[in-house]
Amino acid sequence: MTIYLVRHGADDDSIRGGWNNHPLTDEGLKQSEELAKKLKENNCDVEIIYSSDLFRARQTAEILAQSLNLEVEYNAEFREVNNGDLAGMNNDLANELYPNLYWRKFEWEQHYPNGESPKEFYERVKNAWEKLINSNHKSIVLVTHGGVINVIMHLVNGVEYSNKNNTYKIGTAVHIIVEV
């Protein structure tokens, strides 16, 4: 099975990501359109697009789907980490209300306020990934988020995951081809 892992296009970096439902920036829309063109030009033999249901991922998936003439199936299990009360919050306000509350500093079972822990996030993504790779498709596009792709790359490469470091740095509107 060939899976094209796609991170959504650029979004507003002045706010906290996670489970926010803010749209892509103009740059992010352009990046998504360029990626769609690139995938189409390379004649990728993709059967279906799966996507996180958060708005920035949906926008990217819909641009790809239109270009590749494919359907999109949305799956909340491929959402970014649930950062609870911080989702969509302005970075300055988040730093004021929750000083030093950063993903990379979390203990394995520490939760965002009304959100999830690194352990819960990892388990959610791992379970969703295992279901996806056991599907009957030969070629898939998965539109998701940097944190999700980071977990998937750890799984694919057999590397132990930790929220303490960002082993796989994923740009916006890029794709990584994974054979499973």
59-97 pLDDT, tens digit each? 999 999 999 999 999 999 999 999 999 999 999 999 999
The CA distance from 72 to 52, in Å, is 10
Alpha-carbon distances of 108 from 104, 119, 122, rounded to whole Å? 10, 6, 10
pTM: 0.96
35-50 pLDDT, tens digit each? 999 999 988 889 999 9
Q: Give the pairing of strands 72-74 and 48-51.
A: parallel
Q: What is the CATH number of the domain that holds 133?
A: 3.40.50.1240
Say how many domains are in the chain.
Answer: 1
The CA distance from 123 to 102, in Å, is 20
Q: Give the pairing of strands 175-179 and 139-144.
A: unpaired
What is the CB neighbour count within 10 angstroms for residue 96?
10
pLDDT confidence of residue 172: 86
The CA distance from 15 to 87, in Å, is 8
pLDDT confidence of residue 43: 80
Q: Which residue segment(s) compose the domain that 113 sits in?
A: 2-179
The CA distance from 2 to 110, in Å, is 35
